Amino acid sequence: MDFLSFMPEWLITHGAAVLVIMPLLLGAITAILPSERLAWFVTLFVTVFSTVTAFAILLVIFGGETQLYKMGGWDPPHGIAYVIDGLNAPIIFLICSMALLTTLYGLKSVVAEVEPKKRAPFYAAFMLGMAGLLGMVVTGDAFNVFVFLEVSSISTYVLVAMGASRDRRALAASYNYLILGSIGATFFVIGLGFLYMETGTLNMADIGGILRNLDGGSRVSMVAFGFITVGLGLKLAMFPLHLWLPGAYAHAPTMVTVFLASTATKAALYLMLRFTFTVFDVSFDYVFTVLTFIITGLGCAAMLLGSLSAIFQTDARRTLAYSSIAQVGYMLLGVGMLTAMGLTASYVHVLNHAVIKGALFFALGAFWYRYGITRTEDFAGLGKMMPWTMGAFTLGGLSLIGVPLTAGFISKLQLARAALDRGWEWAVVVIMVSSILAIFYIGRLLLAAYFQSPPEIDGEVVERNEAPLIILIPMWFLALLSIGIGIYYSDFVVQLGQNASDVLLQGDRP
Amino acid sequence: MIDLLTSNPGFIIILAGFLCAFIPVSEIRKFLVGAAPIAAAFLIYTAFKDPDAAYTTVKAGGQDFIVNRIDRLSMIWGYVFCLAGVLNAIYGLHEKCKITDSSALIYMGAAVAGVFVGDFLTLFIFWEMAAISSVMLVWKGGENSFPAGVRYLAIHVLSGVLLLAGAIIYARSNGMDFTMGEPGEYGFLGLDKPGGLLLFLAMGIKCGFPFLHNWIQDAYPKASITGTVILSAFTTKLALYALARCYAGEDILIYIGAVMTCFPVFFAVIENDLRRVLSYSLNNQLGFMVCGIGLADMSGKFGELAMNGVAAHLAADVIFKGLLFMSMGAVMLRTGTAKASELGGLFRSMPYTTIFCLIGAGSIAAFPLLSAFVTKSMILTAALDTALYAEGYSLWVVYAMLLFASAGVMEHSGIKVPFFTFFAHDSGKRVQEAPWNMLVAMGLASVLCVFFAFPWGGYQFLYSLLPFESTYEPYTGNHVVTQMQLLFAAMLAFALLKKYGMYPDERRAEILDFDWTYRRFGKGIAKWIDAMWARLSANVGVLRKNAIERSGRRLYQMFSPAGTFSESTPSGIAAVLTGGMLVLLFIVIYLS
Amino acid sequence: MAEEHTHMHDDDHIHPLSRRFLWLADEKVVKGFFWLPAIGLAVTVALGLYYDFPEKHKALWDFFGSWGLIGFMAYSFVVFSAKPLFAMLARQENYYGEETVPENIIEPVVEVHHHD
């Protein structure tokens, strides 16, 4: 707790608000800044500051507290409240720290991937997106969630579209994302409308209390649950609502892909957890049925079909994008178990997957940065051409497969144990099969990189050209972190998962 | 970190392997390849002095992994693996290949680690690690080896999956306890236990049970020269260890082992590729040990003798089988082939290799003063004693089969391999003697072959490492005399058959084995179904357009970038899907 | 056999150690080799009279010289079984279509006739 003594008192008490408001304000200012370099420094400042604040908050929450911050001093349910507890504190820290790492990475990659005059607005949109995600995670007000969801979504559409200078298909991908994201958000807000109809309040804790008193409420709240689940399902790329994701990941600028892959779907999953377990409750029949049958089933389908799709991709980014869909499947499977162990496993995988996918997409971005490589067949000889980047990619890939001593192993082990504990042996089989499929789609890339020789251009073997240090540092940080979680910090991460599941299941258990 | 690294002797070898992947200087890598097993052997030595202190568990993700524990059974396996590692390191000194060095170390480390782990989950990890790292050695054998490597990998991954599945079922029946019995407890698991059959099958695949054995003869002869030598030492022996720990005294193993000793004899006699002959011979020796494990019923009278026999024969087998593979590797390095039909008369140019090969051949054939004379006889004696003790004739059949196989070993490994390579008709190949490092490795292995059967202090030393105290006396007049009778008679039969032209010539051919079922028959059936499907769909005119000719293409059509699941402009479809999802949810909610 | 003679003259490439053992390839040694195991067998069978089987460890078929008989029979059986097995199991070397064996050295294995 030494770290906390350095933090000013006001920052911890007002931290929740500062985290959201600072990137919003500075984002707006950044948009009109004349210099891209200045914009980068502002972004860096915001992300560093947010990361430190989020870390302090995480430590406070880890001590067992729950923070309730009343906006403008208005008491909920009339005012808007920001709530930070064991469930969202790690997600907040994840968003802030990933934003920091991607910003570092962006110094070089944005220059390569975004047109000069769009760079300052790019950073502005990035900060707005970050503010949106943080807002959605931190707020305790249901309508506020919708507002921030839209803030983050709209800025994300812009960010994806900025990949157009690298790849024109980014425009189509962004348009797709826009259409589907809007459908998702609309469904979500329709669901909120029904909830308001039923309970007359928008404060999440309040809604939860009233619904429990009504013992699940009438048909209206059932319909609300359906709309909210589908709306959030779209946002978190739940199979088969994932169709926007591969395009968006494949064509966005690398920095955005990393940020999206490791935070956006996670924040949406967080919302789903928050809504299903604390606003609604698993003791309601309809929630229980939907989670046990639909969410679990879709999770397993995602694990298998997503991995299978990943094998057949010709573009490495799409491979990883489909892998992400499969990984969301793992998380949904854990949620569908409705046990403390299942939720812990799911939450652990949320954190681990963010780290792993971050490292992998960083590496892919570096391959593009140096050699313009995105297709899987161009991986030949990368082990010699970019040994350090490929090394990080290898560590990340092994972790994704779930090789022991890596983060991926910890989450898969947790999940398998939870499945056994629930009596679902078949789920262990699904996990195994999906992991074997992962061996194929990662192994394919690794074999090409290490066992094939580098291509020849005009009769000369392509020379080694390692990525710049500022790109290697965040990449290796995540790659080593994924190993570190596998070896040293597994208990810590699992503890975070348990704290989260405690929050979710603090009421009655099924 | 240091504690974890030294907790299991295998870990430092694995670490050295990973380091090797990044070291560009061949000399440093070679040093690591040699030093790592020596360091591991030292760790085994210190660990065994205080087994309780060596007991290590690691908690990861809420699960306890017993990463290290040691008893006499794992100790001898560990020592033997380290010894083989040192010999292989010397044998491979001339080769400058980062991938071989690195994967050989990881593979060996996984095998060593695997014998010291205390629970099935940790065993599973090293089981798969050994499989994945060793396939690199197969693939280093050149282009022809790729499909064999893929089959090898597929079979071993399957074995691992079965192991895990069996372990989970076993543990569930047992209060989620994955522990592999107590240290010093052999045969704690029976086939009747839940999951027992799956675990048995997993180990059986890796151990080369009949009909599950084909990966050995498929992959080993296609691996690189050094690769085959390295492969021959670890994979099957790790499985043998697991079998000994879990299923010692399981009756069915006696019969499986007996069959395993006999059937390879017939394949070996017609096979032309001498490295494949040795692979069959490997299978045959494994049979003796599997049979021994079956006889090692700890509650019975001769269990300890049988278990000692298994452990001792393991030590001998790793060395002499390694030696034989080494000598064939040396021949292959110099002549470019290991086919009996292409070789002959090489004693003129490779005299030292000839001598070492003869020592290896004599060892496997169990000549007195050479290793198998002591070690194989322990298993044979255990079989004989059990047969005398037990009622019924089934064990007599087993004992007869073992005797028959002993004569068969003389045929393929004792005579065929050295004769057709170094003697027989002169192929006219005049090559250089093997490189010095290979000669040193083979020389050391030869010394060990003699040492393990040396009557004055040699086999006694081996006894001191065995799981139980051994009182078996190999050098009795009767034993020496009868064994010599068997061997002389076999040699006489060979000489006479050869003299009268009744010994078949070596001919080039692909010899079919059970793998035909999946390499040809399965493929054929797939093709047939494919053809039938094409015909069917051709007849059904409407379906014709959609006829999908092969399952691979079908998957591709579904999942590829151009496929149904990944269309790049899916807004319309996606919107419909979203609506569909909503309807589905409503139906489920309504029904609940 | 013809091939053997064409190569016998390039003595230069014979290893120095092997020069002392060239007699191993001598026609007489090769033809007379069977005397070595024959005499060995005779001696060990005779010794078997002295070193009899211990009563405690005597198999059903353990009698004077029986191991020699077993060895001879078993060995001959294995060798004689080679011919039918080869006829049954041998296929062309690139049967599975994986080997890249040059066409000209693939021996067609259609029917196996013993060349006597």
pLDDT above 80: residue C6: no
Size of the A and B interface in Cβ pairs below 8 Å = 138
Mutation target for B interface from C6, C72, C81: give the one with most B CBs within 10 A: C72
Place B458 in a pLDDT band, splitting at 50, 70 and 90: confident
Quick: pLDDT tens for B256-273: 999 999 999 999 888 888
Predicted local distance difference test score (pLDDT) of residue A509: 36
**Position B204 in a domain:** no
- Name the β-bridge partners of A456: A461
Nearest to A294 among B139, B563, B585 (CB): B585
Evaluate whether chains C and B are touching (3 or more beta carbon pairs less than 8 Å apart). Answer: yes
The dihedral over CA atoms of B255, B261, B267, B270, expressed in degrees to the nearest 10, equals -140
Predicted local distance difference test score (pLDDT) of residue C55: 76
Place B557 in a pLDDT band, splitting at 50, 70 and 90: low
Q: Which domain holds residue B545?
A: 516-591
Domains identified in chain A, total number: 1
Are B14 and B37 a contacting pair, CB within 8 Å? no
**Position A280 in a domain:** no
Which residues have CB under 8 Å from B576's CB, separation 6+?
none
Q: Give Cα separations from A423 to A416, A427, B169, B171 (angstroms).
A: 10, 9, 11, 13
Higher per-residue pLDDT: B339 or B524: B339
Are A408 and A490 a contacting pair, CB within 8 Å? no
With an 8 Å Cβ cutoff, are B490 and C71 in contact? yes
- How does the average pLDDT of chain B come out, rounded? 85
Predicted local distance difference test score (pLDDT) of residue A333: 93
- How does the average pLDDT of chain A come out, rounded? 86
Tell me the chain B residues in contact with residue C89 when contact means C-beta distances shorter than 8 Å: 267, 270, 511-513
Domains identified in chain B, total number: 2
- Chain A's closest residue to B589, CA to CA, is A286
A76-114 in b/e burial notation, b at 16+ Cβ within 10 A? bbeebbbbbbbbbbbbbbbbbbbbbbbbbbbbbbbebbb
Are C69 and B112 a contacting pair, CB within 8 Å? no
With an 8 Å Cβ cutoff, are A230 and B586 in contact? no
Q: How far is C40 from chain B (nearest CA, A)?
A: 6
**Position A93 in a domain:** no
Nearest to B381 among C6, C57, C85 (CB): C57
Place B501 in a pLDDT band, splitting at 50, 70 and 90: confident
CA triplet A118, A123, A126: central angle to 5 degrees?
A: 120
Helix orientation angle between A219-235 and A265-274, rounded to the nearest 10 degrees: 160
Q: How far is A340 from chain B (nearest CA, A)?
A: 13
**Position A188 in a domain:** no
Nearest to C33 among B348, B495, B511 (CB): B495
pLDDT above 90: residue B5: no
- Chain B's closest residue to A216, CA to CA, is B589
Averaged over B426-449, what is the pLDDT? 89
Predicted local distance difference test score (pLDDT) of residue B35: 92
Size of the B and C interface in Cβ pairs below 8 Å = 221
Tell me the chain B residues in contact with residue A244 when contact means C-beta distances shorter than 8 Å: 570, 574
Which two tokens mark A374?
A: 């995105």
- Chain B's closest residue to A316, CA to CA, is B561
Report the range of poorest mean pLDDT among A11-25, B83-97, B307-321, C6-20.
Answer: C6-20
pLDDT above 70: residue C105: no
pLDDT-above-90 percentage for chain B: 33
Tell me the chain A residues in contact with residue B140 when contact means C-beta distances shorter than 8 Å: none
Predicted local distance difference test score (pLDDT) of residue C28: 84
Predicted local distance difference test score (pLDDT) of residue B545: 44
Are A352 and A410 a contacting pair, CB within 8 Å? yes
Nearest to A176 among B63, B563, B569 (CB): B569
**Position A338 in a domain:** yes
> Using CB atoms and an 8 Å cut-off, which of residues 424-453 of chain B contact chain C?
425-426, 428, 430-431, 433
Nearest to B407 among C31, C51, C71 (CB): C71
Predicted local distance difference test score (pLDDT) of residue B289: 93
Q: Tell which phi-psi region holds residue B389, choosing left (phi > 0), alpha (psi between -120 and 50) or beta.
A: alpha
Burial class (CB in 10 A: 0-12, 13-18, 19+), A74: exposed
Tell me the chain C residues in contact with residue B519 when contact means C-beta distances shorter than 8 Å: 96
**Position A477 in a domain:** yes
**Position B286 in a domain:** yes
**Position B427 in a domain:** yes
Distance CA B293, CA B287 (A): 10
**Position B253 in a domain:** yes
> Using CB atoms and an 8 Å cut-off, which of residues 118-137 of chain B contact chain A?
125
Query: Which of B413, B242, B403 is CA-nearest to residue B321?
Result: B413
**Position B287 in a domain:** yes
CA triplet C59, C63, C66: central angle to 5 degrees?
A: 95
**Position A431 in a domain:** yes
Tell me the chain C residues in contact with residue B425 when contact means C-beta distances shorter than 8 Å: 1, 3-4
- Chain B's closest residue to A222, CA to CA, is B589
Q: Give Cα separations from B390 to A232, B47, B216, B268, B493 (angstroms).
A: 71, 39, 34, 33, 34
Averaged over B558-572, what is the pLDDT? 54
Tell me the chain B residues in contact with residue A314 when contact means C-beta distances shorter than 8 Å: 560-561
Query: Which of B113, B44, B90 is CA-nearest to residue B465?
Result: B44
Averaged over A342-369, what is the pLDDT? 91
Mutation target for B interface from C22, C43, C76, C78: give the one with most B CBs within 10 A: C78
Quick: pLDDT tens for B74-95: 999 999 999 999 999 999 988 8
Q: Is the peptide bond before B561 cis (omega within 30 degrees of 0)?
A: no
The 3-state DSSP class for residue A112 equals: helix
Residues B262 and B351 in one domain: yes
**Position B196 in a domain:** no
The 3-state DSSP class for residue B382 equals: helix
Tell me the chain B residues in contact with residue C99 when contact means C-beta distances shorter than 8 Å: 144, 510
Report the range of poorest mean pLDDT among A73-82, A163-172, B65-74, C14-23.
Answer: A73-82
Place A302 in a pLDDT band, splitting at 50, 70 and 90: very high
- Chain B's closest residue to C20, CA to CA, is B348
Q: Which of A118-122, A395-399, B412-416 has the highest mean pLDDT?
A: A395-399
Predicted local distance difference test score (pLDDT) of residue B388: 85
Residue identified by tokens 């097995």 is C85
pLDDT above 70: residue A419: yes
Distance CA A188, CA B298 (A): 67
- Chain C's closest residue to B339, CA to CA, is C93
CA-derived radius of gyration, chain C = 22
**Position B488 in a domain:** no
Residue B243 C-alpha from the chain's centroid: 13
Q: Which domain holds residue A304?
A: 294-510
Helix orientation angle between A204-213 and A169-199, rounded to the nearest 10 degrees: 50
Contact A419/B at CB under 8 A? no
> Using CB atoms and an 8 Å cut-off, which of residues 542-581 of chain B contact chain A?
555-556, 558-561, 563, 565-571, 573-575, 577-578, 581
**Position B215 in a domain:** no
Query: Which of C72, C74, C112, C75 is CA-nearest to residue C92?
Result: C112
Query: Which of A335, A330, A319, A320 is CA-nearest to residue A352?
Result: A330
Distance CA A458, CA B14 (A): 40
For A258, the enclosing helix (H) or strand (E) is helix A254-259
With an 8 Å Cβ cutoff, are B586 and A429 in contact? no
B403-413 in b/e burial notation, b at 16+ Cβ within 10 A? bbbbbbbbbbb
Quick: pLDDT tens for B194-235: 888 899 999 999 998 988 888 898 889 889 899 999 999 999
Is the torsion defined by CA of B381, B386, B389, B395 positive or negative?
negative
> Using CB atoms and an 8 Å cut-off, which of residues 121-150 of chain B contact chain C?
143-144, 147-148
Distance CA B255, CA A444 (A): 42
Averaged over B514-532, what is the pLDDT? 74
Alpha helices in A376-424 (DSSP H): 382-385, 387-401, 407-422
Contact A225/B at CB under 8 A? yes
Predicted local distance difference test score (pLDDT) of residue A324: 93
**Position A237 in a domain:** no
Distance CA C17, CA B350 (A): 9
Helix orientation angle between B72-91 and B225-247, rounded to the nearest 10 degrees: 180
Distance CA B206, CA B221 (A): 17
Evaluate whether chains A and C are touching (3 or more beta carbon pairs less than 8 Å apart). Answer: no
With an 8 Å Cβ cutoff, are B164 and A432 in contact? yes
